[in-house]
Structure 1
Amino acid sequence: MSAPSLITFSIHGNIAYINYQFSFFTLPVLLLFVPVLYIPATCVIVFRICSTLLIEYKNKNVNIQLFGVITLSHVMCLLFFTTELFYLRLPMAGVFTSWCASVLPNGYLISLVIMTYYFNYATMAFPFLVALLRLNLIIFPSTHAKVNKGILKIAIPLIFTYPFIFTFFLFPGSGFCTKIEFLPFGSIILRVTDTLFGINNTIPLIFTTFFWFSACLITNFVLIFKLIRHRFTVDLSMRSQKSHKAEISLTLTTVSMTFSFLTNGMIAISGIFFPSVAVYLIVIRPFTNDLDTCIVPWVFYLTHPIFQEKPKNRIIVSSVERIHN
């Protein structure tokens, strides 16, 4: 993110950028409005999922632990979208250009960077956690509620605190704005300087991306193997069609949650080996992140039978995922 070859120079104090007049009729501004086509609808879907969670929490018809973690991941993705809006989309559209050029590099700018990466790191942990909770439902059919409860007591606080380990070096730094060469005049991007020990975010991003991706991939592989084995060992007469649909829905949801790793890995690796290409990838990064933000809740909402039935007709989600009292 902070490689000198990505962006040429700072715009602070540059009179041309101080006098920049924002215009709605530029390509970056038009791209800024693209999420209007899908983010509002996604927010409605996430709201409906949250509402269903509250209803089912009272009725105890579904696995609240698993349902709750999936719902929390949707909310965190929307928060990530919001922070990235201020970190990438609005600066590239020129919304902050004149103001940024008229001030000195400061901590207010770096706060946008820190918040964006905080939510980025946090959201990366959820695909693994969801897969792990589902795996425990099969491995511990009678005690999974107790096992998963213990895991969540540790995992949830850890998810909200571990990102600070990979962003602490940013806090002493300052944020500053630089232009983007290949976009129209006025398009800028935020960068960081004077970090602790001169550390940049590339290596931590690569490490966390491949760590969570590897953990998620291994867990999903074992999970799918267990599900296939379970399907052939359980009497078909004991399995309802809705139960089967629920299992497929959760599997599709779990797999679709891995899309976020592609963007992070692509940006991080290119920043090291192909720095001249990295800036182009950073520009399209918001749209690739939107895939994760939107696809996962839509897949979950459109495929899980709990959202396709009236409340009075809802049943337990799965023979391997029901709550055991």
Structure 2
Amino acid sequence: MLRLPSTGILTSWCASEEPNHLLKIIFMGTYYANYSAMIFPFLMLVIRLIVVSFPMKHYKINAILLRIGVPIIWVYPIFFTFFLIPAVGVCRQLSSPYPLGSVHIYYANPLFGLRNSYFYLYNTIVWLILSIIANIGLFLKIAKARSQLISFQKGSISYKAELSISITTVVMILFYVINGGFVLIYILYYGTDSYFSFLLIVKPFATDMQTCVVPWIFYLTHPVFKRVAVSDMGVSSTTFSRQMNHS
């Protein structure tokens, strides 16, 4: 929604709007969801780490973790968007390299003059570091568990499932780095004649890729989806055989 005006779809409507709270709610809601989404990759890693570390009682521990963690995920973004409550939303002209007439939804008159970009950058760095630490701890635990096994087959379903989730979490961490890089470029080069400002054009596509690529990789690599496909083929072949026998 924030990017729709710059596409030309809502440019006329947005440019004719006076500063109002509806536009602010659109902006605030978007970043509220973004701050919540930052925590999920780290939470996923912690849950897996608990499963590996406490195989006999991970159900109980993770149940407590989710009971506490999920409400925190929905409350947490308020601490970084509260300054937008008294602000108003505006349609602002995009700076270089966008041409005249390109606008996007932004905010004005925030509490204490705070800026969202710094909060977003610091959050990205913190959750990136925490996720890397959790991922390293998880890989060490898995390596130790594998070394203690008498036989370990790389073609087993459990191995493929672990590999799939590991690849997915690494991709999630990679997008932390990409998002942090774009925010840093925005802070340092937005509105300047630097060539780095042209990279901001790519950010919407990177955001869309993050939404699509992570579940896509999980779907392509996790064996549970392949098992369903094999099961469906088995049902189809069985049905076909029965039809041939009846005929």
TM-score (norm 1): 0.65
Residue matched to 2:115: 200
Query: Is 1:191 the counterpart of 2:124 in the alignment?
Result: no
User: Which string of whole-angstrom CA distances, capped at 9 and with x for unpartnered residues, describes residues 14-60 of structure 1?
Assistant: xxxxxxxxxxxxxxxxxxxxxxxxxxxxxxxxxxxxxxxxxxxxxxx
**Partner of 1:233 in structure 2?**
148
| Unmatched runs of 5 consecutive residues or more in structure 1 | 1-85, 314-325
- Indicate yes or no: 2:71 matched with 1:153: no
Counterpart residue type for residue 208 of structure 2: D
The structural deviation recorded for 1:182 is 2.9
Q: Which amino acid aligns with 2:93?
A: K
* CA distance in structure 2 between the partners assigned to 1:312 and 1:249 by the alignment: 18
**Partner residue of 1:178?**
92
SS in 2 for 1:258: helix
Query: Any residues of structure 2 matched to 1:1-325 within 5 Å, and which?
Result: 86-88=1-3, 90-180=4-94, 181-236=96-151, 241-275=156-190, 276=192, 280-310=198-228
The CA deviation at 1:118 is 1.0
TM superposition shift of 1:107: 1.1
Larger radius of gyration between Structure 1 and Structure 2: 2
1:120 match: secondary structure: helix
Larger deviation, residues 142-151 vs 224-233: 224-233
Hey, what's the Cα distance between the residues in 2 that align with 1:170 and 1:281?
A: 27
- AA of the residue aligned to 1:224: F
The structural deviation recorded for 1:312 is 9.9
SS in 2 for 1:310: helix
Gaps of 5+ in 2: 232-247
- Paired letter, 1:299: I
Question: For the structure 1 residues 281 and 177, does the alpha-carbon distance in structure 2 shift closer, same or farther, using more than 3 Å as the test?
Answer: farther
TM-score (norm 2): 0.84
| Letter of the structure 2 residue corresponding to residue 150 of structure 1 | I
Distance 1:135 1:241 in 2: 20
Equivalent-residue separation in structure 2 for 1:256 and 1:179 (angstroms): 34
Q: Take 2:106 and 2:199, find their aligned partners in 1: how far apart are those partners?
A: 15
Question: What amino acid maps onto 1:182 in structure 2?
Answer: P
Distance in 1, matches of 2:197 and 2:107, equals 15
The CA RMSD measured in Å over matched residues stands at 2.1
Indicate conservation of the 8 Å contact 1:92/1:189, yes or no.
yes
Distance in 1, matches of 2:197 and 2:104, equals 10
Q: Distance in 2 between matches of 1:168 and 1:147?
A: 32
Aligned residues: 227
Q: Counterpart amino acid of 1:253?
A: T
* Residue 279 to residue 106, structure 1, CA distance change in 2 (3 Å): farther
- For 2:164 and 2:175, locate their aligned partners in 1 and report how far apart those are by CA, in whole Å: 19
Distance 2:75 2:29 in 1: 13
More deviation in 198-207 or 181-190? 181-190
Listed one character per residue, the Cα deviations across residues 264-293 of structure 1 (whole Å, up to 9, x for unaligned) are 311332233333357534432111112221
Deviations 1:119-163 (A, max 9, x none): 111111011111111011111010011111111111111111111
Aligned-residue sequence identity (percent) comes to 37
Cα 1:93/1:273, change in 2 over 3 Å: closer
